[in-house]
Amino acid sequence: MATDSYNRLIEALGADLTPVRRLAPPGLRALSWLTIVGAIALALATVSDVSAMSRRLMAAPDMWLAAIGSLVTAVLATVAAFQLSLPDRKPAWALLPLPAAIFWIGASGIGCLRSWFIPETHAASLGEAEICLTFILGLSVPLSILLILMLRRGCPLRPNLTLVIGGLACASAAATLLNFIHPYDATATDLAVHAFGVATVILANAIFGGWLLTDKNVLTFV
């Protein structure tokens, strides 16, 4: 008799439940977001001088090392963010992109020590540096919104940490894509502007991203 009562109770509780779609593996979800970044890169490649960009990056080791550093940072930060979005993942995942980020910062700083300018480049003026900042911030906004909407499906237990790493992914991706339209050599002013843009994106994600990450009334994407 007791067993029948329990069975009826379970059936009553489960009567209105809807099936839950299984969450894709974090690596696959990270690849989905990175594919969108890749599509933006292809679009920029169609409207920019790719050969000039290649010559500029290869003209000095600090240029192509910095580009590789920002790219690897974007990839690793994306993977770490999707791992951190799962409640059973350890916070140590946040350390994954840090070596690449340090490498990126170091390579960018070395360029400021050169005493010669790379051919086909010049030092960015204040107005040109503002364009770089606008590009990083402007591109990071849609990338951040999309990333946060994808991260929220995992229900992260450490939303602030997840958002910081997610912000690093967006900022480093935008900084990498900036190379398509950045005919300037590395200078202290240019580096400072880039660093300010990256820091602003990370801080904005941490401050304002919490609403998108926790508000279940917002449309969710896989």
- The 8-class DSSP code of residue 121 comes to -
Per-residue pLDDT tens digits for 122-161: 777 778 888 999 999 999 999 999 999 899 888 788 889 9
Tokens in use for 53?
Answer: 């960009």
Measured CA to CA, the distance from residue 104 to residue 121 in angstroms comes to 20
Please give the model's pTM, rounded to 2 decimal places.
0.85
Measured CA to CA, the distance from residue 60 to residue 193 in angstroms comes to 21
Secondary structure (3-state) at 135: helix
Measured CA to CA, the distance from residue 185 to residue 97 in angstroms comes to 26
Measured CA to CA, the distance from residue 219 to residue 222 in angstroms comes to 10
Measured CA to CA, the distance from residue 3 to residue 5 in angstroms comes to 5
Per-residue pLDDT tens digits for 70-126: 999 999 999 999 999 998 899 999 999 999 999 999 998 887 777 677 877 777 777
